[in-house]
Amino acid sequence: MAGESTASPERASAAPGESHRLFDARYRWVLLHALKWLRSVPDIDLDLDEPAQLQTAYDCMRAFVLRYVLEHDLCDDLDPMSVAAIAESAPARATVESLLRSEHPGAEDAETRKLIDDAVHAPDPSLEPAAIDRRARDRRLEFAKSFGLHARITDVEVSGSGLRVHVAFDEDIAFTPDDLKTLEINGVLLAGAQLVDVHRNEAGSPRVEAVLVANVDRASIETLRSLPMRVTATTKDDVHMQAMKMA
DSSP string, 26-86: HHHHHHHHHGGGGGG-TT----TTSHHHHHHHHHHHHHHHHHHHHHTT-GGG--HHHHHHH
pLDDT in tens, 100-146: 887 666 556 788 888 898 899 989 999 998 998 888 888 877 877 77
- The segment with the largest mean pLDDT, out of 89-103, 170-184, 194-208, 230-244, is 89-103
181: closest CA among 237, 243, 242? Answer: 237
Q: Which of 11, 121, 139, 149 is nearest to 79 (CA)?
A: 139
ω into 42 cis (within 30 of 0): no
pLDDT(89) > 80: yes
Q: How confident is the model at residue 247 (pLDDT cuts 50, 70, 90)?
A: low
* CB-based burial, 201-214: b 16+ in 10 Å, e otherwise: eeeeebbbbbbbbb
Q: Phi/psi zone of residue 221: left (φ > 0), alpha (ψ -120 to 50 degrees), beta?
A: alpha
What is the β-pairing status of strands 180-185 and 229-235?
A: antiparallel
Q: How far is CA 49 from the centre of its chain?
A: 24
Out of 69-73, 137-141, 165-169, 220-224, pick the least confident: 220-224
At 148, the amino acid letter reads G
Ranking 1-10, 63-72, 133-142, 156-165 by mean pLDDT, the lowest is 1-10
Helix (H) / strand (E) containing 145:
helix 129-147
10 vs 47: CA distance, rounded Å: 23
202-225 average pLDDT score:
76
Q: Classify residue 17 as left (phi > 0), alpha (psi -120 to 50) or beta.
A: left
DSSP state of 4: P
- Closest Cα partner for 12 from 51, 59, 54, 46? 59
